Amino acid sequence: MLYDYLRRGVQAGVIAGLAYGLFMAFVANPLSEYLHHAQHDHGHDHGHGHDHAHAVSETTTAIVSVGSGVLWAIFLGGVFAIALYFLEPALPGRGTGSAFVLAGAGFLTVSATPWLVLPPAAPGAEQLYTVELRLAIYVGLVALGALVSAAAIGSYGWVASRHRALGIVAATVPIVATAVVLSTVAPTIVSHPELAGELVSAYQAMAALSQAAIWGILAASVSWLERRETTSTAGVVGPNDRRSTSP
């Protein structure tokens, strides 16, 4: 069973990675390049040699973006599949629902919670703390994000057995409380003195949406692969079926 989950996770990672890599190559990298040039005056002519070198650099960056995007998503897909195998019985929903709940928890843990203190840094950002300290802060915030995710899922399960709508409200309480507290008390660790606030916000929103999309594609792909395999076996459910009957 674990092998089947892991295999689907890796396959889903390839799907998500290709989508993410293409997004980086055609959207994120050009935006980063634009932000980089927005901070400097490049009005003088550098000649054809510079143009050729710049084109080669852009091509190399695009190739690296696609490759790294695939590898990152494959890693996430494997971790996602293993987590789904062990946690699925405790997750709300059945089938696709539990996969998307886990994907939301993964995004909240790995990206959303840490970014409340360590937001995505656009080109030219000034970092207040050292790399080592920022890494320690990030690890601590990931742990906090995991606790918040567990609290949200636990709150839903406890309340939804009596009223599903109230269960959803209960699940949002620890998430909203964490967002409000961290946004209020967190110090300014990253600044962008040479960029307009609108450009920084656009870059950070793009980063957040792209990471959320990876988790969403992973959940959708894993569920689709499982349904396809189930259909190919004529809908026969084996004795090892582990689907939860949670609300």
Q: How confident is the model at residue 194 (pLDDT cuts 50, 70, 90)?
A: confident
Question: Is 43 inside a domain boundary?
Answer: no
Pairing of strands 190-191, 126-127: antiparallel
Lookup: tokens for 215: 């988790």
Query: Is 90 exceeded by the pLDDT of residue 104?
Result: yes
**Cα 134 from Cα 114, distance rounded (Å):** 10
Binning pLDDT at 50, 70 and 90, where does residue 57 land? low
DSSP, collapsed to helix, strand or coil, labels residue 162 as coil
**Percentage of the chain exceeding pLDDT 90:** 55
Residue showing tokens 């990152």:
72
Range with lowest mean pLDDT among 50-59, 79-88, 116-125: 50-59
The residue segments making up the domain with residue 163 are 2-38+60-233
* Assigned domain for 53 exists: no
Helices (H), the chain: 2-23, 29-38, 47-87, 96-107, 113-115, 131-160, 164-185, 197-232
Is 102:83 a contact under the CB 8 Å cutoff?
Answer: yes
Q: Which two tokens stand for residue 30?
A: 């050009």
Instruction: Look at 4-8, 9-13, 105-109, 188-192 and tell me which has the smallest mean pLDDT.
Output: 188-192
pLDDT of residue 53: 52
**Residue 61 token pair:** 């960056």
Tell me the C-alpha to C-alpha distance, in Å, between residue 75 and each of 11, 114, 121, 214.
Answer: 11, 19, 23, 12
In a domain, 244, yes or no: no
Asked if 107 contacts 138 with a C-beta cutoff of 8 angstroms, the reply is no
Name the residue among 159, 122, 154 with its Cα closest to residue 38.
122
**How many domains does the structure of the chain reveal?**
1
What local confidence, expressed as pLDDT, does residue 45 receive? 45
- Residue 240 belongs to a domain: no
What is the reported pLDDT for 227?
92
Checking if the pLDDT of 238 tops 70, the result is: no
The answer to whether residue 55 is domain-embedded is no
In a domain, 79, yes or no: yes
* pLDDT band per the 50, 70, 90 thresholds, residue 247: very low
Cβ atoms of 4 and 82 closer than 8 Å? no
Residue 52 resides in a domain? no
pLDDT at 191 over 90: no
CA–CA separation, 214 vs 200, rounded Å?
A: 21
Alpha carbon distances (Å) from 225 to 10, 15, 82, 99, 101: 11, 11, 15, 12, 17
- Residue 242 is predicted with a pLDDT of 52
